[in-house]
Amino acid sequence: MTIGHPGGAPQGSLEQVPPFALPGEHFAAALVWLVLGAAGLVAVAPELAQGGFLLPHVIAVTHCFTLGWITTSIFGALYQLFPVTLGVPARSVRVGHATFWVLEAGVVALVAGTWWWHPALVAAGWLTMFLAVGGLAWNVLPQRRRAPRGRVIGLYVSAGHMAFGLAMAVVAARIGAELGWWRLERLGYLAAHAHLAVVGFATLTAVGVGSRLLPMFLLSHGHSEWPLQRIGPLVGAGLAAFAVGELAHVGALVVAGGVAMAAGIALYLWLGAAYFRHRARRALDPGLAQVAAAFGYLAVATGLGLAVLVTPGFHPRLMVSYAVAGIVGWISLLIVGIYQKIVPFLTWLHRFSARVGQPGVPRIAELTSPAAGWTAVGLLTAGVALLAAGVAAGAGAVARAGSLGFAVGTALLVAQHARLALRR
């Protein structure tokens, strides 16, 4: 008997997908960072409620999320996504493993150097991160020029990576200022850096990757695609104006850029709602409910960001609430939701895909406990709400209660993923 595919191999053929170890090691390390970040949130919650965003411990915890959880997850996802969605694999799996270890070494150095405030370690972490980002850029990004499909996703990923590079360049500029080479106002630098990283890198990458993943998981058909042509340019132009305005102290540019960014994000919220509205799967599972909650936090973060932009004076607690909603509520919970979908999916693919049609093959949903999943969603979502509210109100106890809820939800989530990984 012979077998074959006269219509060509199915797109997303397993032959092009990297070994499970490559995205798997990224996802495992990212989950460790999520645990560290969640524990760190409990530790720094009172400082957050006082608006202490410049404290070393707060900066260290922030980078557990931004670099450890978010960046490591995105890097792992790109190695898995490019072959499946764009039809092109990374140049080298070996380089992929190498960039993973370099990335993790860089994040460890940066977070440890910030927590114990050791500038040499921070600088070493920055340099190591630079190598990791460059390595991933070499390994993945040029491949999109050969991609037979997924042009828009490739553009968003490239734009996100460019924003990451700029966020790192702004840090380098800050180091130069510390050394007395030039002047750079600290708050302006911080605003430019944070927005380049969270809006430019994380959010633009999420828009691109999500344009493929979310309709696929929701079984969403018939929604408009045109917002994808507008969101990137709007957010990108707004971000550029905002960052230049912050660095050069041009208030009008900051406001114009902030408004353009918010308009782009509002358009993305509309698109996100369309994904859910046009879904064929009416009942949401925990992963998709977590994604929906993350979109809710994106709306909250956008409102808080505009409030920071237009409110005269310096309001550190409002700024920290904005950061909590954006970094923990939006992008971190979005990735949590995607993990709840993609980790069981990949586990099934690698354990059971060869046995399709045979008895005893479970459905993907049967690999995890819905009760544990829903409990984690509730704890994580409510935890962020309580944390952000506690920070806004200056109530340290409330902020700590919220961070505890988030930490318990994280522990539940990680235990579920660990159980899945150990399943035979």
Partner 1 sequence: MITPGGLDASEEAVYRQLKRVIDPELGQSIIKLGLVYDIGVRDGDVIVTMTLTTPGCPLGDAITRGVESVVGELPWVRSVHVAIVWDPPWTPAMIR
Residue 148 corresponds to which amino acid?
P
Selected range binding partner 1 among 45-53, 70-78, 120-128, 361-369, rule: CB under 8 A: 361-369
Distance, in Å, from the CA atom of 234 to the CA atom of 368, rounded to the nearest integer, reads 39
Shortest spacing between CB 280 and partner 1, in angstroms: 3
367 half-sphere exposure, CB direction, 13 A CA radius: 26
> Can you tell me which of 105, 364, 382, 395 binds partner 1, judged by CB under 8 A?
364
283: contact with partner 1 by CB under 8 A: no
Joined together, the tokens standing for residue 66 give: 């931004």
20: contact with partner 1 by CB under 8 A: no
> Can you tell me which of 362, 394, 419, 421 binds partner 1, judged by CB under 8 A?
362
DSSP string, 243-296: HHHHHHT-HHHHHHHHHHHHHHHHHHHHHHHHHHHTBS--SPPHHHHHHHHHHH
* Contact in structure between 308 and 255 (CB atoms under 8 Å): no
11: contact with partner 1 by CB under 8 A: yes
> Can you tell me which of 94, 353, 394, 397 binds partner 1, judged by CB under 8 A?
353
Selected range binding partner 1 among 59-67, 95-103, 211-219, 320-328, rule: CB under 8 A: 211-219
> Can you tell me which of 54, 310, 365, 393 binds partner 1, judged by CB under 8 A?
365
> Can you tell me which of 188, 215, 272, 326 binds partner 1, judged by CB under 8 A?
215
> Can you tell me which of 46, 87, 378, 396 binds partner 1, judged by CB under 8 A?
87
Selected range binding partner 1 among 4-12, 24-32, 116-124, 296-304, rule: CB under 8 A: 4-12
Cβ-proximal residues to 2 (8 Å cutoff; 6+ apart), any chain = none
Shortest spacing between CB 213 and partner 1, in angstroms: 10
Q: Count CB-CB contacts under 10 A for residue 134.
A: 14
Distance, in Å, from the CA atom of 315 to the CA atom of 12, rounded to the nearest integer, reads 49
281: contact with partner 1 by CB under 8 A: yes
Joined together, the tokens standing for residue 326 give: 């954006």
Distance, in Å, from the CA atom of 324 to the CA atom of 301, rounded to the nearest integer, reads 8
Selected range binding partner 1 among 243-251, 303-311, 360-368, 393-401, rule: CB under 8 A: 360-368
Distance, in Å, from the CA atom of 108 to the CA atom of 43, rounded to the nearest integer, reads 18
271: contact with partner 1 by CB under 8 A: no
348: contact with partner 1 by CB under 8 A: yes
Task: Please calculate the CA angle 140-66-395 and round it to the nearest 5 degrees.
Answer: 165
Helix (H, G, I), strand (E, B) or coil at 11: coil
Task: Please calculate the CA angle 142-106-47 and round it to the nearest 5 degrees.
Answer: 120
Task: Please calculate the CA angle 243-193-396 and round it to the nearest 5 degrees.
Answer: 120
> Can you tell me which of 21, 187, 248, 354 binds partner 1, judged by CB under 8 A?
354
423: contact with partner 1 by CB under 8 A: no
Helix (H, G, I), strand (E, B) or coil at 116: coil
370: contact with partner 1 by CB under 8 A: no
280: contact with partner 1 by CB under 8 A: yes
Distance, in Å, from the CA atom of 307 to the CA atom of 254, rounded to the nearest integer, reads 13
Distance, in Å, from the CA atom of 92 to the CA atom of 72, rounded to the nearest integer, reads 18
Shortest spacing between CB 309 and partner 1, in angstroms: 38
Residue 398 corresponds to which amino acid?
V
349: contact with partner 1 by CB under 8 A: yes
Q: How many residues bind partner 1 (CB under 8 A)?
A: 44
- String of contacts with partner 1 for each residue 216-255, x by CB under 8 A: xx-x-xx---------------------------------
Joined together, the tokens standing for residue 341 give: 């979908």
Closest residue by Cα to residue 211 from 262, 136, 165, 272: 272
Shortest spacing between CB 264 and partner 1, in angstroms: 26
> Can you tell me which of 130, 138, 276, 352 binds partner 1, judged by CB under 8 A?
352
Shortest spacing between CB 368 and partner 1, in angstroms: 13
Q: Where does this chain bind partner 1 (CB under 8 A)?
A: 1-15, 17, 84-85, 87, 149-150, 212, 215-217, 219, 221-222, 280-281, 345, 348-349, 352-354, 356-358, 361-365
